[in-house]
Amino acid sequence: MFIRHLLLAATVIAAPCAAQQDTSPARSATKARDIGGFTLGMAIQDAAKITPLENIGGGDYQSTKDGVKFDFGVTPLGRIYRIDSEQNLGRFALDNVFLRSVAAKLTDKYGSPETSDGETFHWSLVEPVTRTGGQTLPFETNWAAAYVGDGLDGVTLNIKLIDFRIMWQDQKKQNRGPRDDAIGKIAL
């Protein structure tokens, strides 16, 4: 996948330290929040109605639908916060006609990318996030990326959407009861 995703994984580890503020996922880095009918925030049970899913552990699920491979990141409460897709488009030489077509289709669905070099496209939403200690810092809460690859298996199109706010909202909901119980148990 993208080296950027590996770097972002390190950032994700730090993100749960953020105060779980009520940030509505209504604001988006992209016009559309879906890939192939799977939408950010969708219940994983609803995704399973579209296509059979394989639970690969750690809150991740995989599937193949209409020849497109999907990988989903799912919150502890069962909502999709990450959609990763890989579509093999066949064996042919990449040229400007094809790359312009991909750019037009991506722009039509997701809006104008923030950055693009013709083969890689990126959309980003940076918002202030308050950390547990009270410090507010900018954080890329919602983003999308697309990448056209040319490898041994042919030309592929990878698209990834991620919205950390969905994960944080569910972590906050899941934490509320045990936290409140612990507050009630404090003996001084």
pLDDT of 181 over the 50 cut? yes
Cα 25 to Cα 39, 127, 142, distances in angstroms: 12, 11, 8
Do the beta carbons of residue 140 and residue 125 sit within 8 Å?
yes
- Kindly indicate the confidence band of residue 24, based on its pLDDT and cuts at 50, 70 and 90: low
Q: What is the mean pLDDT of residues 125-131?
A: 91
- Sequence spans of domains, the chain: 3-180
The tens digit of pLDDT for each residue in 154-165 reads: 999 999 999 999
Average pLDDT estimate for 21-43: 83
Contact yes or no for 158/2 (Cβ under 8 A) = yes
Confidence of residue 124 (pLDDT cuts 50, 70, 90): very high
Q: Dihedral sign, CA of 98, 99, 103, 109?
A: positive
> Residues of the chain with pLDDT > 70: what percent?
86
Chain-wide mean pLDDT for the chain? 87
User: Each residue of 93-126: b (16+ CB within 10 Å) or e?
Assistant: eeeeeeeeebbeebeeebeebeebeeebbbbebe
- Predicted local distance difference test score (pLDDT) of residue 12: 42
Q: With a cut of 70, say whether residue 15 has pLDDT above it.
A: no
User: Is residue 113's pLDDT more than 80?
Assistant: yes
Q: Is the pLDDT confidence value at 43 over 90?
A: yes
Q: What is the mean pLDDT of residues 110-134?
A: 93
Q: What value does the mean pLDDT take over residues 107-117?
A: 96
CB 109 within 8 A of CB 28: no
Q: Return the pLDDT at 77.
A: 96
69 φ, ψ (degrees, to nearest 5): -85, 135
Identity of the amino acid at 60: D
C-alpha closest to that of 102 among 110, 84, 179:
110
Residue type at 120? Answer: T
Average pLDDT over residues 59-85: 97
Q: Is the pLDDT of residue 9 over 70?
A: no
Predicted structure pTM score:
0.83
| Residue 4: alpha-carbon gap to chain centroid | 13
In this predicted model, what pLDDT tens digit does every residue of 137-159 receive, in sequence order? 999 999 999 999 999 889 999 99
